Structure 1
Amino acid sequence: IDMTTTSPTLAQRIYQEGAARRLRVLDAPVTGGDSGARAGTLSILVGGDQADFDACLPIFQAMGTNITYFGPAGCGQHAKMANQIMIAGALSGVCEALAYAKAEGLDGNTLLGAVSTGAAGSKQLDFQGKKILAGDFAPGFFMKHFVKDMRLAEEEAENAGLDLNVLQQALSNCQSLIDRGCGDLGTQALIKFYEK
């Protein structure tokens, strides 16, 4: 069971190599961050053979609460790529909104309280918004790992003939922060891209 986040193409190759050696292989990347890992509430995104998923379900249930089978080898990784694309857009939106609010003299905490229960609400707003306003850049997920994942998603999107502009911009912004030495900070450090 490969629970790292890696290329769906690599996951398919590992599956094929495993099958040639009479091994059963699942790709099962996770979401939920360090807090989900500690609490045993991870979301686990699984690709491979259904029978192998069924056999390993008790293992997954010991680590997570939202366990989903997506299909053949590589599909767990494709689901993780989609997850990271969603985070890239949502986190970018949170950072841009908070930069705008600050520039216009709004209180960030008041803004979070006002919009978090409406259509703008999201997990990124809830978790990262508070950290950003507190100047807390401790990693729940490292910026350098997020960039690695976004690069994988960009490669897979290009292979599928897609042009994902929001992903590309978020990747560029985060890479510029890594170039400035922010790779070991949490993803919420994306706000630093907007600071003047």
Structure 2
Amino acid sequence: MIDKAAKIGWIGTGVMGKSMAGYLLRSGLSVNVFNRTPSKADDLLAAGARFASAIDVAKESDVLFLMLGYPRDVEDMILDGERGLLRYMKPGSCLIDHTTSSPDLAVRIAQECKRRNIDSLDAPVSGGDIGARNGALVTMCGGEVDAYERVKPYMELYSAQVKLMGSPGAGQHTKATNQIMVAASMIGTVEALVYGHKAGLDLNEVLALLSQGGAASFTMSKLGPRMLKRDFEPGFYVEHFVKDLGIILEEARRMNISLPGTALASQFYAAYMAQGGARNGTQGLLTVFEKLNNTEVRKYDL
């Protein structure tokens, strides 16, 4: 059950974070927010949130959410010796990190939280900007059962599914598994569109038909139409996906396993970054394959 008297803190109001925090606000909760670029919190402030420094947000929060870009951002924000927010959080409060980060960092944060009598969950999400706006994210958690049960109702406000996957770090491992699947389906989708284009097919009809069959995927049904509209605005930044793939390949080396498909996807996305696509959406990978084939999939008015 949600405690309507709980003070909520949210740090990181970017493409997804602002929508997720918005669901907490609309449920009637008191929400304090911080973002390094304050203007990205304007919509939340207009809806009733209060802007404060990261330290003040941490001091006041019963439940503190993070949605940042990189593991180094999380480490600096939480564990820094002088500015780390764990120094300021209240005993008995809970930290929920929605950032896609490294399992090792999640374990370290959990250990430090336990030492300070603070609950914690690593809780990365899947669904991109569409899932965040529609309150339909899949949230995968790592942590202790008691902490999870306490804060699950808050995460359900913006999630279609919330599940505890195991001990600290398990949420991040589950998200890595998700990204491996996404990477493969993204390459398959863009190759299919280039092939279909060269074969003279109506790609809008192709997507409509094949999304009902065995090739169906989130990438095809949600990002495929964006590709056809040549809409490469970010629902999930390319640079963040490259970060995710780097974490996965590092974990693979640690576990002594080979993931050649993921490594290949990482190289294609590195090429897209080299071509200036770092801040575009991951569906922009289409342009890399167009360049490889000296063609351009025509724009559809959908």
> What TM bracket, shorter-length normalisation?
over 0.9
1:89-109 deviations in whole A, cap 9, x for unaligned?
011100111111122222211
Which entry has the higher C-alpha Rg, 1 or 2?
Answer: 2
Cα RMSD (Å): 1.1
Task: Work out the CA distance in 2 between the residues paired with 1:65 and 1:119.
Answer: 23
Structure 1 position 163 matched with structure 2 position 258 = yes
Q: Corresponding residue for 1:93?
A: 188
Partner of 2:171: helix, strand, or coil?
Answer: helix
Find the residue that maps to 1:95 and give its secondary structure. helix
The SS at the match of 2:119 is coil
Alignment of 1:51-130 (within 5 A): 51-130=146-225
Code of the aligned partner of 1:103: K
- Alpha-carbon distance in structure 1 between the residues aligned to 2:160 and 2:199: 41
Residues of 1 paired with 2:278 and 2:246: CA distance? 14
Q: 1:39 aligns with which of 134, 149, 153?
A: 134
Match of 2:124 in 1: 29
Q: 1:98-142 CA deviation, whole Å, 9 max, x = no partner?
A: 111122222211221232211111111001111111111111111
C-alpha separation in 1, matches of 2:281 and 2:170? 27
SS of structure 2 residue aligned to 1:140: coil
Return the alpha-carbon distance in structure 2 between the equivalents of residues 86 and 31 of structure 1.
12
Task: Write the mapping of 1:169-188 to structure 2, written as runs, cut at 5 A.
Answer: 169-188=264-283
Cα deviation code 1:58-100 (max 9, x no counterpart): 1112221200110100000111111111100011100111111
Supply the distance in 2 between the matched residues of 1:129 and 1:71 (Cα, whole angstroms): 33
Would you tell me which structure has more strand in proportion to its own residues? Answer: 2
TM-score (norm 1): 0.96
Q: CA deviation at 1:161?
A: 1.2
User: Whose helix proportion is higher, 1 or 2?
Assistant: 1
Q: Give 1:149's aligned residue.
A: 244
Identity of aligned residues (%): 39
Task: Quote the offset at 1:170 in angstroms.
Answer: 0.6
Query: Where does structure 2 lack aligned partners over 5 or more consecutive residues?
Result: 1-95, 295-302
- TM-score, normalised with respect to structure 2: 0.63
Matched length: 196
SS state of the match for residue 122, structure 2?
Answer: coil
- Greater relative CO (CA pairs within 8 A, separation 6+): 1
